[in-house]
Structure 1
Amino acid sequence: MEVGEFVFAIMMLVVAVLSGFALVREIKTRNFFAVLFAGASLGLFGWYSIMTIYSQLFAG
């Protein structure tokens, strides 16, 4: 297990959580352009971080 990749995945998970907060805030203000970008950021960073953590913990 490489520590650098694991730490980077945790940092990207924090970015994904912040994107989730931004998504909820922008839905409340009905700014749909920002909802698009916040949703895309949440999906991209969330998927990357979860899959990286999964592959680091359960590498075969």
Structure 2
Amino acid sequence: MIMGIITLLITIFAIIGGYKELKRKNFFAVGFAAISVAVFGWFSIRTLIAFFLYGGGGTVG
């Protein structure tokens, strides 16, 4: 559960950073922020889904 929360915080910070860099027109940083949001967002959502649906992660089956 703590892994999902940490990656969710990283995702939120990447969204904020991407927005700030978009205002500065630094598109290289916006690209890295978008990649970070995609990767860490995916892991946070999947970790939280696994925790709530399957009781704490692990293998499903």
Matched, 1:8 2:8: no
1:12 Cα deviation after fit: 0.8
The reply on whether 1:44 has 2:55 as its aligned counterpart is no
- 2:48 pairs, out of 39, 53, 56, with 53
Contact 2:3/2:47 (<8 A) preserved: no
- State the identity as a percent: 33
Q: Aligned-pair distance for 1:56? A: 1.1
CA distance in 2, matches of 1:43, 1:20: 10
Q: Which runs of 4+ in 1 moved over 2 A?
A: none
State the partner residue of 1:31.
26
Q: Deviations over 1:9-30 (max 9, x none)?
A: 1011001000000010011000
Q: What is the total number of aligned residue pairs between the two structures?
A: 55
Contiguous gaps of at least 5 residues in structure 2: 55-59
Distance 1:58 1:11 in 2: 19
